[in-house]
Every structure is written in structure tokens, then in C-alpha cells.
């Protein structure tokens, strides 16, 4: 169940550079970088972009969890991303290509908290692409599981 989704705010310009540790970089065909030609986001900047909650079971966790993080479409909007796909790169080298339509068809978030706690690297974190599985049982497919990247470090928009 998605709770607390808010509309994506219209941005007057690029986000400021992060003040904390960078949790996510958005690279590629973007209009609004904040560090060189990339958008760097720390926890505060991430949570300023349409923070949402998904309550769902996942194929990788036990029971229903309350996951919190920004909508992926809000991140791409903030970056001024212009591509039709997003290549999501994990810290361990894993990569998945996700059609941007997924982020508009479903309220996909980048989960950075579960049940009020930061998601540790050993528990799929610190950043995890999460689809609203309980709200949309049709998402429980091998294709969507492949797109549900954990340990996310970079989203590249070709």
C-alpha cells in the first residue's frame, strides 16, 4: 500500500550540492546537475523529493515492511532526465535497465528506510529500487525482480 505520496514539486532550478554523504548519483542526459555534469544526492536531498511510503512484502524480506524513500520519477524530474530508460547500477557492479514508463505506471520508490530505520548494506541498502508489490500483484515477475536493484549507487540516463 502506498501512503504519503505527494506531488513532485516544480523545481526552480538545480538542487544545491549535497552537504552529507552522497547516497545516489544521477548521470547521463540530465539538465540539472549539481556537481559537474552529475546530480549528487545525500539523504536530505533524496527525502526532499516526494518522499513516499510503500507497505509491502517483497521477495527478499520477511513479512510486510514499511519502506520509505523518494519516488524515482521525482528524482528523474529533479535531474531533468530526458531518456526513455534508466540504467540502475549497484555498488557491487550489478546493473539493470528499467523503462522510465515503469516509474510513471507505478509508484516506484528508492527505499532508504524500512520500518523507520535506515536500510543497511547487508539488508539491501543503502538504496533499493522498490515496486509496490502488494498493490500490484502483476509485478511479481522475474522481469520486475531483476529491475528491483538493491545497493544502488548510480542511475544513468542514456
Dihedral sign for Cα atoms in the order 45, 46, 49, 54: negative
Whether residue 70 is predicted with pLDDT greater than 90 in this model: the reply is yes
* Tens of pLDDT, residues 9-19: 444 568 999 99
DSSP assignment, residue 149?
-
Could you tell me if 132 and 107 are in contact, meaning their C-beta atoms sit under 8 angstroms apart?
A: yes
CA distance 17 to 12: 15
- Please tell me the pTM assigned to this model: 0.90
Length of the chain: 158
* Tens of pLDDT, residues 84-126: 999 999 999 999 999 999 999 999 999 999 999 999 998 899 9
Could you tell me if 60 and 111 are in contact, meaning their C-beta atoms sit under 8 angstroms apart?
A: no
* Tens of pLDDT, residues 141-155: 999 999 999 999 999
Is the omega angle on the peptide bond into residue 126 within 30 degrees of 0, that is, cis? yes
Q: Does CATH number 3.40.1400.10 belong to domain 36-157?
A: no
Rounded alpha-carbon distances, angstroms, from residue 61 to 18, 24, 86, 89, 119: 30, 23, 25, 21, 12
Amino acid at each position: 500500500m502506498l501512503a504519503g505520496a505527494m506531488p513532485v514539486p516544480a523545481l526552480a532550478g538545480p538542487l544545491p550540492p549535497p552537504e552529507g554523504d552522497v547516497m545516489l548519483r544521477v548521470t547521463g542526459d540530465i539538465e540539472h546537475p549539481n556537481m559537474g555534469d552529475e546530480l549528487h544526492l545525500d539523504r536530505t536531498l533524496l527525502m526532499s523529493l516526494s518522499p513516499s511510503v510503500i507497505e509491502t512484502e517483497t521477495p527478499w524480506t520477511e513479512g510486510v515492511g514499511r519502506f520509505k524513500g523518494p519516488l524515482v520519477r521525482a528524482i528523474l524530474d529533479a535531474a531533468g532526465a530526458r531518456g526513455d530508460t534508466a540504467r540502475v547500477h549497484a555498488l557491487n557492479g550489478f546493473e539493470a535497465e528499467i523503462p522510465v514508463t515503469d516509474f510513471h505506471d507505478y509508484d516506484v520508490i528508492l527505499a532508504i528506510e524500512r520500518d523507520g530505520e535506515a536500510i543497511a548494506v547487508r539488508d539491501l541498502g543503502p538504496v533499493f529500487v522498490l515496486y509496490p508489490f502488494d498493490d500490484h500483484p502483476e509485478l511479481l515477475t522475474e522481469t520486475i525482480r531483476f529491475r528491483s536493484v538493491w545497493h544502488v549507487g548510480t542511475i544513468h540516463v542514456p
